[in-house]
Structures are given as C-alpha cells and as structure tokens.
Structure 1
Amino acid sequence: MRTVGVDLAAGTPGTALAEILWTGRGARLARLEIGIQDADIVASVSAGDAWLGIDCPLGWPDAFVDFVGAHHADTTPSLGPVEGGPDWRRPLVYRRTDHVVFERIGRWPLSVSTDRLGVTALRGAGLLRRLAEAGFRVDRAAEGRLFEVYPGGSLRLWGFETKGYRVDAARRRALLDVLAARAPWLDLGGFAPLAIAKADAFDALVAALSTRAGALGMFARPASGALDVARREGWVVLPDGAVEDLAPGVVGRVSPNS
C-alpha cells in the first residue's frame, strides 16, 4: 500500500509531495519533494495501490456557487435578498465540511470562497480533471482513493501541539521528535531535515499519514443527507483515533497486512 500526501499551493515552488510505503512490518517515507508539478502528482498515483490525500479544498460552497451565478446573471440568489451581514454570508463562506471541522477542532479552516486559498483551489480543480483523465477515480466525498486532508487539523486531533509550527523550524523539529516516539514503526528515510526546513514538506508528510487514516476508514464520513453536497463541495478527512492507530496491522478498509 502507498499513501501519497500533497501540500498543494497555487504554484509549483510551494507544492510538496510525500509518499509512504506500508508493509506488514512497518512504514517508510520513500519520497519527500518540493517544487511539485501537476504531472508529478498524477504520475505518483499511476500504480493501482496508491491512495492520494490533497491539502486543498476540492470544491466551493453550494451557496457561493449559486450566489455568484445569480449575481452574474442579475437574478435573485436562492439565499434571498442580499443582506451582507455575517449570518447571511456564512453559507457562502464555509462548506458543510468546514462546519464539521469547526465542531471537531474548535476553529474554522480558511475559506475557499473568500480567502486566498481560493487561488490554490483553482489549481486543485484543474488537477482533479487531470487525475480523472489519467484514470484515477475522483470522488470529492471521500468514497474512493482520493481524500481532502487538513494536516493542521489532523495534528490537533492526534494531540500534537501545533502552535507556530508552520513558521518555526524548531517547532517542526520538536513535532518530528514526538512523532518518532509515538510512531516508531515509521522510518523517515533520511527526509527529516527537509521536513524540518520546509513547512510545505512537513505538511505533505502529515497529509500522507492522514491519507492512511482515510484508507483505513478511520474518519467520519458525510451523513447520508449530506452526501450529495459533499460530492460537490468536498469533504475533509479528519482522522478518528490516535496516530498510533495508523500502524501496520490495524484492521480497517484495507488488508491488515497493508
């Protein structure tokens, strides 16, 4: 089994990819690179055993899409008359899955419709098209081998102290030390210096671990009534359980020897 984690940015320089190989004896970080192009990501999942986790929203809020379309056509959006206040605009700002993220970790993720993250999501939309054209099943609701992941959220749910880790290499070093102690079955393969030096590479590693949680089915899926919405807006895979539960031999959606 292979899990591929991608910290996607609007451009190639800020994009990182991590690949972890899982066997019945352990897990090894076999690849960690920065400066990743879309073609690199597509190629990384060309073999059938790959699971892919992307740190990027896979869609926009339904209400936002409707509002922009109505505004463009000069018609009334389904939300009714434009009021502009915070309560009125919240459905335009956050997706259904973002509300679940807030409930789980106590903070709102960045908004794909009102933050600069939207620029990255535009690249992500093109990447999804390229993956589909290459034969990789694209399902935004986490029903296949593709997951939307949130490294910072995964770390918090696993009990790691995340304050400042994106901007402080010392914090990333400390986090890797804790990870090594809690997951002795994970061989970083000499890539620790890169993960410490570059926050994008660190998040790609966490994305690959989060993808393992998705592959094992260790996450809350969309409720049946929200499934259609998740297929359009995307669904964040937030891991249930501890990082220790990702160890080889755990029984989940995949073989216990994976």
Structure 2
Amino acid sequence: MLTAGVDLAAETAGTALATIEWSSSAAVLRSLETAVPDARIAAVAETAVSTGIDCAFGWPDEFVEFVAAHARGERIAGELAGMPWRRTLAYRETDRVTREVTGRWPLSVSTDRLGLTAMHCAALLECVGDRIGPVDRSGAGRVAEVYPGASLRLWGFGTRGYKTDASVRAGLLAEFGERMPWLELGAMADLMVADDDAFDAVVAALVARAHALGLTPPPPARHLDSARREGWIALPPRDLAEIAPAEWRSADPR
C-alpha cells in the first residue's frame, strides 16, 4: 500500500509531497519533496491508494450564495447582516464538526489566509481528476482533505510552535519514534525538521493511511450533499495503533 500526503501552498514553491509505503511490518517514507508542481502530485496520486491534501476543497455554500447574490446586486436583509450570519459564511459544516471533535476552529477558507491556496487546490483537484477520475470532495474516493495539525492533536502530540520552530519539530520526531516505532523516516527526517511543509506532508500521508483503511468518519447523510461541494476533513482515529502495520497491531506494543 502506498499513501501520499500533500502540504499545499498558494504556489509550487511552498508545496510539499510525501509518500509512505506500507507493508505488514513497517511504514517506510519513500519520498519527500518540496517545491512540487501539480503534475507531479497528480502522477503520484495515480499510484497511491489514498492521497491526503492539506487544504480546504471548497467554500461554504452560504458564502458562495452570498457572493453570487451580491454580484447580482440583491439586497441583504438588515436582520441577517449580524455576526452570527457572517459566521455561517465563514465556516463549512466540516469546520464546525472539526471544532466539536478537536476543540479548535480550522482556518476559514472564505475569510482567513487560505483563499489563494484553496484556488490552487481547485485547480489541483482537476489535475488529479484528469488522472484518476473526478475527485469526490466528501472523501468518498482516493483523495481526502486532511488537517495535519488537528490530526496531531487527536493523536496526543503537542502542536504549539511546531510550524515555526525546528526544535519543536525535532522533539515531535523523537515522540514519533517512541509512539510509532514502525515508521521508518531514514535520512529524510532531517528535511522534516528543517521544513514545516515537509513535516506536514508526512503527517498528511499518515492520515491518508487512516482514510485508505476506512477509519476516517464520512460526512453524516444529512451533510453529504454539501460536503461534495464544500469538502470534508478526514479526521483519523485517536489511537495510532489503528493505522499501524498489521504485525504491530497484533503485537499491541503499547
């Protein structure tokens, strides 16, 4: 089994790609690249059983409807223009569920710093779709929206400062060695310490393993239609043993 993880940026320069090969006894980091173009990601996605991409796959339905209505010059009713209404434009349903599960809001794709990256993601999903068929943004397929920071917190790792401080990432890798002895990073661990994008790409590939095994909860039926437009964050199980290679799961090294 090969899984892939992408830490997407607004441009190629900040985009990282990782692949992990899974056997019954180990998970081996086979590649870790930075400044990765879309065509390379699409080619890897064609060979992977699951590809996790760290970026929102779409915008809130309410936000899309608001922008379209505003462009048509339609009036906004005064009682609807308060902060509670604006929050419906800022967050997708999957963002609300993620907050319930993790205790923290994801960045808003419509009001925060993700807009340009989400535009890139829309183009990337089309590029990937040209190789493997249309991407289902709800995660019902071989591509999933992932959230590395939230996944690390679900697994019990501290995430404060890891995006900006190499020493924090080095500490996290030491914890990885203790809690995931089956994960073989080799010399590429140095790049994970040096580059936070590379670090998140590896985490995304780990979450892709959970997605491939069917361990990431799908959207509830009532939200499935909107998730196919907005996207849905694939959250892994809290127990890392559930994604471990089979021999480690049966041995239960805890």
- Corresponding residue of 1:51: 50
CA contact (8 A) 1:62 1:95 kept: yes
Q: Which amino acid aligns with 2:41?
A: I
Distance, in Å, in 1 between the alignment partners of 2:78 and 2:2 is 49
CA contact (8 A) 2:109 2:118 kept: yes
Quote the RMSD (CA, aligned, Å). 1.4
1:181-192 to structure 2, matched below 5 A, reads 181-192=178-189
- Corresponding residue of 1:237: 234
Distance, in Å, in 1 between the alignment partners of 2:240 and 2:43 is 28
Distance, in Å, in 1 between the alignment partners of 2:79 and 2:233 is 29
Q: Which has the higher helix share?
A: 2
Q: Does 1:64 align with 2:59?
A: no
1:4-83 to structure 2, matched below 5 A, reads 4-47=4-47, 49-76=48-75, 80-81=77-78, 83=80
Pair 82,124 (structure 1): closer, same or farther in 2 beyond 3 Å:
farther
Pair 5,82 (structure 1): closer, same or farther in 2 beyond 3 Å:
farther
Any gaps of 5 or more consecutive residues in structure 1?
251-258
List, as ranges, runs of 4+ consecutive aligned residues in structure 1 with deviation greater than 6 Å.
none
Which SS does the other structure have where 2:144 is aligned? Answer: strand
Aligned length: 247
Distance, in Å, in 2 between the alignment partners of 1:186 and 1:136 is 31
Q: Does 1:106 align with 2:103?
A: yes
CA contact (8 A) 2:49 2:212 kept: no
Q: Which amino acid aligns with 1:54?
A: I
Pair 76,228 (structure 1): closer, same or farther in 2 beyond 3 Å:
farther
- Corresponding residue of 1:145: 142
User: How far did residue 46 of structure 1 move?
Assistant: 2.3
Any gaps of 5 or more consecutive residues in structure 2?
248-254
Distance, in Å, in 2 between the alignment partners of 1:21 and 1:204 is 14
**TM-score, with normalisation over the residues of structure 1?**
0.92
Distance, in Å, in 1 between the alignment partners of 2:237 and 2:73 is 44
User: How far did residue 81 of structure 1 move?
Assistant: 4.6
CA contact (8 A) 2:63 2:90 kept: yes
**TM-score, with normalisation over the residues of structure 2?**
0.94
Distance, in Å, in 2 between the alignment partners of 1:150 and 1:181 is 23
- Corresponding residue of 1:125: 122
- Corresponding residue of 1:89: 86
1:133-172 to structure 2, matched below 5 A, reads 133-172=130-169
Distance, in Å, in 2 between the alignment partners of 1:206 and 1:82 is 43
User: How far did residue 75 of structure 1 move?
Assistant: 2.1
